[in-house]
Structures are given as C-alpha cells and as structure tokens.
Amino acid sequence: MRIESVFAHCDIPCKIYDPVSAQIAGLTVVRLLSLMANLSANEKTSLENQHEMSRLTAQKEEHASLVKSEIATIWGDYFKKNHLEQYSEIHDVTHSIMAKASTCKQSMAIDRGLELVELLNDFAEIFWSSKSIKCERVVCPYPPELSIVRPILAKA
C-alpha cells in the first residue's frame, strides 16, 4: 500500500482570518479578572463564593488559552514571508501576547489583562495594515468597556 503526500496551505479557508476572536477573549479575561477582584474583596468565604471563584478562574484560563490559540493560528498561517519582512515587529508582538496570556492565567492582576488587550490591539493594527485596511479604536459597548481596534469596512 502506497500513501501519497498531500499538501495544504492553511488550517482554515484563506482570507477569513480575523483577530477579533482573540480580542474578545482578551476583553473577557479582563472582565473575569474584574469579577474575581470583586469577589475576593468580599470578606465572606462561603462555599458559594468559593464555587463562583472556581468558575471564574476556569473561564479566565479558557479565554486566555483561546487568545493564544487564535493568535498562534494567524501568526503561523496568515503571515507569510513578505509580511514578516514588512512587519518584522509581529514576532515580538506575538511572543508578548503569548507570554502575557500565560501571565493572565497565573495571576489575578487586572493590569496584566489590560496589557494583554493592548497587545492584541497592536496585533490587530498590524494584521489590518497588512491587508491595507484602515483601523479605528472604539470603546466596546459592554464591560469592561475598553478600546479595541477594528477595521473600517466599506459601506455596502
């Protein structure tokens, strides 16, 4: 039996990459850190509070992991040699996101989450610039009400 080699270009269909999933996951990390801080400020350590803290922690871990997965996929599959030459800072930004997302998993410090969102915004700016699409920063209409980078899309 002979097995033939198969070659593929991308894990997902080309041209549908978008950092917004990672950005929303980053915003979720910040929101969860905020909820955790509020809960830890409660002097009662009831079983219900412990349960809620466990749930929040699990979700924070999941969303920080989602950030890493989404960014690694875009960095590894979308950015090609010509992009890497033009946007050489993408390596450092990507590495910083990976490290910061790990720090968010290890910590309850909201500042770390805020730094993660800013790094994700930097990544989004580079991504959209590589597609010659202008961006803008807008405040999200939901907690934690932080600014995020989004593309300015043509009106239909």
pLDDT at position 40 is 86
In the predicted structure, residue 49 carries a pLDDT above the cut 80: yes
* pLDDT for residue 41 is more than 90: no
Range scoring the smallest mean pLDDT among 11-15, 18-22, 24-28, 93-97: 11-15
Residues 55-74 have a mean pLDDT of 97
Q: In residues, how long is the chain?
A: 156
Tell me the C-alpha distance between 79 and 131, whole Å. 11
List the one residue out of 72, 54, 62 whose CA is nearest residue 120.
Answer: 72
84 CB-near residues (< 8 Å, 6+ apart): 90, 91
pTM greater than 0.85 (yes/no): yes
Pairwise pLDDT comparison (13 vs 124), residue with the higher score: 124
pLDDT at residue 79 above 70? yes
pLDDT for 26: 98
Tokens of 91: 């390596």
Give whole-number Cα distances, 138 to 69, 86, 127, 150, 151, in Å: 24, 26, 17, 7, 10
- The 3-state DSSP class for residue 156 equals coil
CATH class of 20-151: mainly alpha
Residue 48 confidence (pLDDT) above 70 = yes
Of residues 138, 30, 116, the one with CA closest to residue 70: 116
pLDDT score for 13: 61
Has residue 9 got a pLDDT over 90?
no
Domain boundaries, the chain: 20-151
